[in-house]
Amino acid sequence: MSADPFRELAAARGAGRSRGLYSVCSSHPLVLEAAIRRSAGNGLPLLVEATANQVNQDGGYTGMRPADFAARLGALRGRYGVGEAQVPFGGDHLGPHPWRKLPAELAMSKAEVLVRAFVAAGARKIHLDASMALGGDAGAAPAPEVVASRAARLCAAAEDEYRSLASSRDSFPPPVYVIGTEVPVPGGVAAEGPEGPAPTLPEDFLSTLALHRERFAEAGLASAWERVAAVVVQPGVEFDSSGLSPYRRDRASGLKAALASAPGLWFEAHSTDYQSDEALRQLVEDGFAFLKVGPALSFALREALFGLSAIDAELRGSSGAPLAHALREAMLADDAHWKDYYPRGDGVALLYSLSDRARYYWDGPGLAAEVERLFGSLGGTAIPAGLLSQFLPRLGGPHAALAARGPSGLSVQFGPRELAMGAVDAELARYEAACFPSGGR
């Protein structure tokens, strides 16, 4: 592998090989640890990205600023002995979205501070997203020319911050950029009907490319334009609380053909969560080199935590599901993260939705304490293989459960925390297989 995964992508394309780079978009410590542990074990790169809603100069919904998130990521890299080149940090949807209700100039000024903070924190990949209407804008969305101009303004801020830091930092590579706006807003949206979203029209992709190239040139950003790595387009995939729009490559064939006229560029696909193994493979083959995944990972973690809670109850002969109860109570006490997605009386969606709005609640002190109590209760416990198979099926069923156990009946490799990360790892493996079909060669 190259020391620079972005250059490795370029080399693969030049050699006509299918290659991608998956992006973990989650702030949960166990999700991040599972991803970095996997990268450390196989030597393959991955991206870890934070959105403007998750992490910003005001703290975001995680309470973290870019430097805080970078420090969490850096600590995990250090624990597993991987460098920044192998696990680069990125910023997703960086733009004025968190401040979109403010007057446009003020919102853009805050967005400039945001991109500077991400660059200063070491973010290597920057998705410039100025697609949303701001206070004072006419209409539901700004004109494409305005979007491109605002993206160039954000890029100029990022470049200025990079230049101010590069002279004092060794081995500080410049940012690579992603442009394009045909994506859901941060946090996702509801599905758009039985057929799902229509793929981006090839002419719209080419127009977006031309407009941004023109605005970058006008802003004196020719060198930055050479580092634009991808354009976000809609391949026709989406998911909502209970449904999925699968990738159909025949619907996106025009996009694939149009990409041939843009050497050095790739597509970036958002909302690839829950797509099949075959769909992920086809996306990469069709030029969607960057695959974003987030809710599917935290869904797998939630599933595993509920499974461990059920195992704990079985072993102790108790009834009820204390972890599920604690999560439900936390979500009902604060509906800010799900009220626009689920009916209030839909208890099934609240806990089991594919949208996984539950991911916003795990860092709450009460829920975090309940998870630690569960891990403590199961620590050192000999879990029967049948229970592992029943309640943690992502780990591979009874054969895998038996193989993981030693003569004492204890798991050789896995305590409860590792079992939870193992469920996330199983989902990560699907993205790795799509992005590195030849094992990274």
For 403-428, write each residue's pLDDT tens digit. Answer: 665 444 444 457 899 999 999 999 99
Distance of CA 27 to the CA centre of its chain: 9
Q: Max alpha carbon distance in the chain (Å)?
A: 70
The pLDDT value recorded for residue 193 is 53
**DSSP H or E segment with residue 228:** strand 228-232
Q: Are the C-beta atoms of residues 284 and 435 closer than 8 Å to each other?
A: yes
Give the domains, in start order, of the chain with CATH numbers.
Answer: 5-295+430-435 (3.20.20.70), 298-426 (1.10.400.20)
Assess whether pLDDT exceeds 90 at residue 351.
yes
Cα Rg of the chain (Å, integer) = 22
Assess whether pLDDT exceeds 90 at residue 123.
Answer: yes
72 and 64 in contact (C-beta within 8 Å)? yes
Q: Is the pLDDT of residue 356 over 60?
A: yes
Contacts of 97 (CB under 8 A, 6+ apart): 52, 53, 129, 132, 185, 186
**Helix (H) or strand (E) segment spanning residue 289:** strand 288-293
Lowest mean pLDDT among 89-93, 343-347, 382-386, 400-404: 400-404
CA dihedral 110→113→117→123, nearest 10 degrees, is 80
pLDDT at 412: 42
Side-chain half-sphere CA neighbours of 314 within 13 A:
15
Tell me the average pLDDT across 312-332.
Answer: 92
Average pLDDT in the 134-163 region?
96
**Angle (nearest 5°) at CA 77 between 31 and 185:** 45
Q: Do 159 and 137 form a contact (C-beta atoms < 8 A)?
A: no
The 10s digit of each residue's pLDDT in 157-191 is 999 999 999 988 887 899 999 999 775 444 444 44
Which two three-digit tokens encode residue 259?
């990409």
Across the range 71-80, mean pLDDT stands at 98
* Token code pair at residue 80: 């597993």
* Residue 242 confidence (pLDDT) above 50: yes
Query: What is the rounded distance in angstroms from the CA atom of residue 280 to the CA atom of residue 23?
Result: 13
Between strands 238-239 and 244-245, the pairing is antiparallel
Percentage of the chain exceeding pLDDT 90: 82
pLDDT more than 70, % of the chain:
93
| Residue 72 C-alpha from the chain's centroid | 16
Confidence of residue 440 (pLDDT cuts 50, 70, 90): low
